[in-house]
Homo-oligomer: A and B are copies of this chain.
Amino acid sequence: MKGKPTIYDIAKKLNITAATVSRALNNNPRISQATKELVLKTAKDMNYEPNKLALALKKGKSNNIGVVVPYINRNFFSSVIRGIEEELFPKGYNVIISQTHESAEREVDIINNLLNAQVEGIIISLAKFTKNTKHFEQVLKKNIPLIFFDRYQEMGGVSSVTIDDYQGSYDATIHLIEQGCDRIAHLTVDPTLSIYKHRLEGYQQALIDHSIPFREELVVKLKSDMEEGKRVAENLMALENPPNAIFSTSDYGALGAIKWLQTNGYKVPEDVCVVGFSNEPFTQFLDLSMSSVDQVPLEMGKMAAQVFLEQVNDGNNVKIEKKVVLSPSLIIRQSSTKK
């Protein structure tokens, strides 16, 4: 008996069959209390541990779940993954992670790979440029729960967990208005992506609700990047009627804006209030701490895991399509607090 002990080893020792051992181990009702205890005891003695691979092959279930993100070392994603792992480890699932590097191609490879590995579910935040959804149809065809989080795409049979981007944006804008700002710039990243579209809409609605005219020139598209934020701030302040608040859908853009403002004679928040989005860890450590919309990544991860568990337990039932929308949380700090 070199390697790990199997149910055969323990069967032999007890002079019974492997089948009986298996049943005893699985607490099968029609097995005598005596043998049950005996088996359990010797199993423990021999340091027996079931071979998950065999079980997996037999049942066609691996106890593994795949989590796919663009990059794992972005704070938002790693926090979501943390939430997922914490929810799923106690249930006996192992979390396999993969990174798309924002490449749609690689995303396809990863999905195929996960499928081969017989994962029982896939939780994914789409690569930025994923348009085609063919690879996901395969997943659905196999009745494997597929859950999008944060970045998603409309697709029948797919569940998703997102934050209410509209609400987050609305709240942030209202907050700025309440600080007395009436010329609020909106920095966006790519309004064709749904999350940014919703953020734009929330911003617009807040203006409407306070009878503030919408000015097209105050909406600027830029990459989520500090240098871009500086450039944009410069342009905005050069307008004849410059903004007295900047709401950026990215913390990095907001940071760049603040830096430019401060080094060019503007006071934040007195002259210009600034609010970011994502609540990156650095926002709280700045000398002038930055207000930001928190995307509740931990909750998002836990929620995604829970949705997965529901679907997986629902067996081959009708495909449930669950859309969970979490409330983001506006964190108000110095960059937008006049007092």
Residues in A lying within 8 Å of B, measured CB to CB: 3-4, 49-54, 56-57, 60, 62-64, 71-75, 78-79, 81-82, 85-86, 89, 94-99, 110, 112-118, 142, 226, 255, 262, 280-282, 285-288, 297
Q: Nearest chain-B residue to A114 (Cβ)? A: B94
Complex Cα distance, B114 from A74, in Å, reads 26
- Asked whether A97 and B98 contact (CB < 8 A) given A53-B57, A73-B78, the answer is no
Cβ B81 vs Cβ A73 within 8 A: yes
Copy total for this chain: 2
Smallest beta-carbon distance A149→chain B, Å? 15
Q: Which residues of B contact A3 (CB under 8 A)?
A: 60, 142
How many angstroms between the C-alpha atoms of A118 and B53 in the bound complex?
Answer: 7
- Tell whether A73 pairs with B71 under 8 Å between CB atoms, given A116-B50, A117-B94: no
Chain B residue with minimal CB distance to A81?
B72
Q: Which of B71, B110, B287 contacts A286 (CB 8 A)?
A: B287
Query: 5 closest A-B pairs (Cβ-Cβ)?
Result: A282-B282, A78-B78, A73-B78, A73-B79, A73-B82
Say yes or no: B97 contacts A81, CB within 8 Å.
Answer: yes
The complex places the Cα of A332 from the Cα of B262 at a distance, in Å, of 23
Residue pair B116, A98 in contact (C-beta under 8 Å): no
Let me know if B285 and A255 touch, CB within 8 A. Answer: yes
| Chain B residues within an 8 Å CB radius of A117 | 52-53, 63-64, 94
